[in-house]
Amino acid sequence: MASPAVLMRLVASAYSVAEKAAAIVRKVMAGGDLGIVEKCGANDLQTKADRLVQMSICSSLAQKFPKLTIIGEEDLPSYDVDEELIENGQYEEILKKTCPPQYSSIKEEELVVWVDPLDGTKEYTEGLLDHVTVLIGIAYGGKAIAGIINQPYYNYEAGADAVLGRTIWGVLGLGAFGFQLKEVPDGKHIIITTRSHSSKMVNDCIGAMNPDAIVRVGGAGNKVIHLIEGKASAYVFASPGCKKWDTCAPEAILHAVGGKLTDIHGNSLHYNREVKHMNSAGVLATLRNFDYYASRVPDSVKQALVP
Ligand code: AMP
Ligand code: MG
Ligand code: MG
């Protein structure tokens, strides 16, 4: 058999790398010393877990795929990474799947990987552990085409002997796996948004959508999981603040199951290596009925959020 396409090998490796990342996230928390550093103020934090996980993910992928462009959230000095942080495995189930033909001849150097080592850091420091995810997004031609989301604390309320954590992955044209796709009942408008980065504009935008309920949780990864599991109908964030590493993996998985993630204007996000990191024009995402929400974004919000 011909060797698997580079994209599938990368996704299979990133799956294993994300599981190692989750183990690091749990280990740092269990150790009790989070080593918190403020980046741009008290709502923009970095912990020892963010640092170690980024080193682990970026070094592991770079060793195996030296021609990739890898962009991680954390600004870290470059030094030799401890061998203990390197993950060499690959998830065999992914290698058994056929690469969608449009991606089968992609070269390693054409791929851009966006890494959020720990999404929902603020919530992690506050003990809201089920909000936390590890995000590895893969882009080609500026488009998010594959993604891995690991939830290190999935199942943590199930008791001491429950297996902690799960990994959701997806590739455009192939689908998304590791969870059960579910939709919110027809006609119900459940809006999910930020918990720790709210503003008047964020709330005004949600108010204009006639929500039946508003769910406020941390993390872009966590919010998109709520969309694909039928726990929320729209992710609405009418504010700058979210970055490309927050949206790349969630967008790819959402798009792989027929959903849509854009800025607040309904414009696609771009993930080529030169792109600005900030999603200045906010985020709007749904599994179904995108147009209902897009059509209700107030003009004042659109004017205030320039891409
Ligand atoms: P949230 O929905 O607040 O959890 O935000 C989703 C992602 O965007 C997280 O990685 C946040 O750190 C990031 N984010 C959103 N707003 C801001 C902000 N005002 N400053 C820094 N990071 C932000
Ligand atoms: Mg994040
Ligand atoms: Mg992060």
pLDDT for position 156: 87
Does residue 303 or residue 41 have the better pLDDT? 303
Identify whether 121 is a catalytic site residue.
yes
Residue scoring higher pLDDT (279 or 159): 279
pLDDT of residue 43: 87
Residue nearest to atom 22 of ligand 1 (CA): 241
197 CB within 6 A, ligand 1: yes
Alpha helices in 187-289 (DSSP H): 200-207, 220-228, 244-256
User: Quick check: CB of 155 below 6 Å from ligand 1?
Assistant: no
Residue among 283, 260, 245 at smallest CA distance from 149: 245
Per residue in 147-200, pLDDT (tens digit) is 999 999 999 888 888 889 999 999 999 999 999 999 999 999 999 999 999 999
Q: What percentage of residues in the chain have a pLDDT greater than 90?
A: 93
CA of 261 to the centre of ligand 1 (A): 16
pLDDT band at 1 (very low <50, low <70, confident <90, very high): low
**pLDDT for residue 77:** 78
> Is the CB of residue 132 below 6 angstroms from any atom belonging to ligand 1?
no
In whole angstroms, what is the distance from residue 183 CA to residue 11 CA?
26
Q: Is the pLDDT of residue 83 over 70?
A: yes
Mean pLDDT to the nearest integer, 11-24: 98
- CA of 123, closest atom in ligand 1: 4
- At residue 157, the pLDDT reads 84
Q: Which ligand 1 atom is at minimum distance from the Cα of 195?
A: 3
Structure tokens at 294: 């897009």
Tens-digit pLDDT profile for residues 187-211: 999 999 999 999 999 999 999 999 9
Mean pLDDT of the chain: 96
Query: Which residue's CA is the closest to the ligand 1 atom numbered 20?
Result: 241
Cβ–ligand 1 contact at 220 (below 6 Å): yes
Q: How are beta strands 190-193 and 234-237 bridged, if at all?
A: parallel
Here the tokens at position 228 are 């694909």
pLDDT surpasses 80 at 79: no
Is any ligand 1 atom within 6 A of the Cβ of residue 282?
A: no
- Say which of 47, 116, 119, 121 is annotated catalytic: 121
How far apart are alpha carbons 225 and 138 in whole angstroms? Answer: 18
The predicted pLDDT at position 207 comes to 98
Q: What is the CA(219)–ligand 3 centre distance, in A?
A: 8
- Nearest-atom number in ligand 1 for the CA of 194 is 2
Torsion of CA 56, 61, 66, 68, to 10 degrees: -120
Query: Mean pLDDT throughout 276-301?
Result: 98
CA of 239 to the centre of ligand 2 (A): 14
What's the CA-to-centroid distance between 133 and ligand 1, angstroms? 13
pLDDT at 78 over 90: no
What is the DSSP secondary structure assignment for residue 129, as one 8-state letter? G
- What angle do the packed helices 48-64 and 6-31 form, to 10 degrees? 160
Task: Give the tokens for residue 24.
Answer: 């690091």
Query: Would residue 50 show up in a list of annotated catalytic residues for this protein?
Result: yes
- Average pLDDT, stretch 63-90? 93
pLDDT above 70 covers what percent of the chain?
A: 99
Which pLDDT tens digit goes with each residue over 97-129? 999 999 999 999 999 999 999 999 999 999 999
Residue 197 CA to ligand 1 centre (angstroms): 6
